[in-house]
Amino acid sequence: GAGVSQTPSNKVTEKGKYVELRCDPISGHTALYWYRQSLGQGPEFLIYFQGTGAADDSGLPNDRFFAVRPEGSVSTLKIQRTERGDSAVYLCASSTQPTTGAGSGANVLTFGAGSRLTVL
Amino acid sequence: AQRVTQPEKLLSVFKGAPVELKCNYSYSGSPELFWYVQYSRQRLQLLLRHISRESIKGFTADLNKGETSFHLKKPFAQEEDSAMYYCALFPYGQNFVFGPGTRLSVLP
């Protein structure tokens, strides 16, 4: 697609339920990032995929959070036993393969519109 | 650990006045620095990056490695510049680290 697509745009659930959030990155972008943004705060890193594998999942807050990217394109963020504190906007972003050199056209994140999760 | 600070949560200026949004970072290596902007009801988008050395919408930012700063400046603010601005650090090979953001309000 032309941009990063996230579904659903809004999700209201009850405490204790299971939730899946989907991200469809820009075609050809090998890197995919998940961030969480709470009200009045900046994006907080959750997990980063390079291809199919999670290159860095150090931002996942606990084992209730899990993300997959089985074919190296679409990714799903899964939250088990949701809690009220999980309420936030979940942002997905993609980029071409990150490089280690300045002057590259890579290393630029393109964001989706986000999925707003509300846990009652 | 890498960290980005933006000391002002809210910055209000009058139209036509100069504006400076402050950003400081902590990282021992040589990262890439970015400014992202989020206009009302729009998604987060790239404004500029330090390696491009460009002026985008009249904004510029200079990386000062000695002071570990990457302040965003514009000589004459416009009402359409009102938005949330996030400074971001990219330590090569790692994930992007964002600051808490500054809300810029340009008053008529």
Residue A68: pLDDT over 70: yes
Give residue B36's pLDDT: 96
Tell me the three state secondary structure of residue B97: strand
Cβ distance A107 to B32 less than 8 Å, yes or no, reads: yes
Sign of CA dihedral B52, A92, B6, B13: positive
* Chain B residues with beta carbon closer than 8 angstroms to that of A48: 95
List, for residues A10-32, the tens digit of each pLDDT value: 999 999 999 999 999 999 898 99
Q: How far is CA A26 from CA A17, A75, A107, B99, in A?
A: 30, 12, 14, 25
Angstroms from A112 CA to nearest CA on chain B = 7
pLDDT band per the 50, 70, 90 thresholds, residue B56: confident
Q: What is the mean pLDDT of residues B75-86?
A: 97
Cα(B65)–Cα(B27) distance, rounded to whole angstroms?
10
Per the CB < 8 Å rule, is B95 touching A48? yes
